[in-house]
Amino acid sequence: MEENNISNISDDSGESVSIISEKSEAFSRKHFLKGKTIGISISESDNLSELGYGVPHLKDAVIEIARYILALGGKLSYGGDMRQGGFTELIFDLLAYYKADKELQPHERFYNYLAFPLSTLLTEGKMAEQKQNVSFIKVSPPEDIENANASELLRDLTPTKLYVWSRCLTKMREEMEVTCDARIFIGGRTKGFKGKSPGILEELLIALEHKHPVYLVGAFGGITKDAIEALKGNKPISFSNEYYFDNADYKNMFAIYNEKHPNTPINLSKYLSTLQSIGLKGIAKQNGLSVEDNLRLTATPHISEVVYLILKGLTKRFTN
């Protein structure tokens, strides 16, 4: 009699089928991010609590995203935040557990960029304490403001000092992006920043200028969500001068900056038109996801789905 298979378990062992023929190929697939540096742009957003989230949710997102990048052989790059319990320290523990590329030490897999004058706060003792965990990259100020006094810049901020801050932060972000192969964006303040524009917005524009794949997570709001709206063709209020000019110091810094740099001024309307012209179709062409997948990434509140979509894009982007 013919025997019925009621267990629904296949009798095929798969021994006759060779999906991956060599160990080297299996390794390359498992660690397809080997040699790739993924930048993470993340900070608290002004409307985080309004969306039902808190800082712990942001930390959860960073940990999960970083975990998979490291496990797949990738390296991480991040700008700033050496505060106790900050995003930098969150990654230290992960480095000890995920050693996909055994040829690299932990500090060769995590790069922390520090702009002047914040870089002066990093003591030799702190660097020695963390030298096994992270490579600190101290970025010097632009040549025309090399003589800036760090201690002065760190207190009693004025429009002139904010101008110096903005130049230093831009230089750090540009140098960091040169070393990145892709970048992930989450949250970001639209108020209380020290750069020429919200930091995550500036990093996004620099990444797009380099034609790097970018992944925008919209659930945590902030300037990332506003950038997403711009990519959809909308005009968020955070892309207008009026939104920022209620801060007199920023308004005066804006004037100082544009007077000194008439050929490359702070131009929020230009930033808006740049994103509108790229659109989500332009993002999709670079990051390995469809427009529909990108839309889902901008909306999903589930960290597991965020990780899945980012890895889906990176896989398509960096494997044959």
What are 89-143's pLDDT values in tens digits? 777 767 766 665 566 676 788 899 999 999 998 888 878 887 777 889 999 999 9
Q: How many residues does the chain have?
A: 320
| Tens of pLDDT, residues 89-100 | 777 767 766 665
3-state DSSP call for residue 135? strand
Which amino acid is present at 232?
K
Per CATH, the architecture of 34-315 is what?
Answer: 3-Layer(aba) Sandwich (3.40)
Q: For 115, which DSSP code?
A: E
Pairing of strands 135-139, 75-79: unpaired
**pLDDT, tens digit only, all 320 positions of the chain:** 455 554 445 555 545 544 444 545 544 567 899 999 999 999 899 999 999 999 899 989 999 999 999 889 899 999 876 666 567 777 776 776 666 556 667 678 889 999 999 999 888 887 888 777 788 999 999 998 878 899 999 888 999 999 999 999 999 999 999 999 999 999 999 999 999 999 999 999 999 999 999 999 999 999 999 999 999 999 999 999 999 999 999 999 999 999 999 999 999 999 999 999 999 999 999 999 999 999 999 999 999 999 999 999 999 999 97
Q: Could you state, in order of their start, the residue ranges of all structural domains in the chain?
A: 34-315
Going from the C-alpha of 149 to that of each of 92, 117, 178, 209, 221, the distances in angstroms are: 31, 8, 27, 31, 35
Query: By C-alpha distance, which of 310, 316, 239, 299 is closest to 272?
Result: 239
CA distance 171 to 260: 16
Pairing of strands 110-115, 135-139: parallel
Q: Cβ distance 303 to 56 under 8 Å?
A: no
Pairing of strands 182-187, 110-115: unpaired
